[in-house]
Amino acid sequence: MTNEELAEILEEIEPNIRFTRLLTLCEKVFGKPRIKGSHHFFSVPWGGPPYINLQRDGKDAKPYQVKQVR
């Protein structure tokens, strides 16, 4: 993935982003998540914690998790 593609993805990530859209963007960057219950865990390229963990908040992504992704 190029820096330009990453920059475009970052521009799309807003505080009120829909969960499904954030999930799609994270899959483009980090690959398929490991799912356990309502949690979607993404491995990160730097290895080990912190992992990316996404969970729904209604139709939107949880605001603190959006910050973590950015």
What's residue 8's pLDDT? 92
Cα–Cα distance for residue pair 11/32, rounded to 1 Å:
21
Q: How many domains does the chain have?
A: 1
Element (H, E) at 61: strand 60-61
What's residue 45's pLDDT? 81
pLDDT (tens digit per residue) in 7-61 = 999 999 998 899 999 999 999 999 999 999 999 999 888 776 778 899 998 999 9
Range of the domain at 51: 3-69
Q: What is the CATH number of the domain that holds 31?
A: 3.30.920
What helix, strand, coil percent values describe the chain, rounded to 5?
40, 20, 35
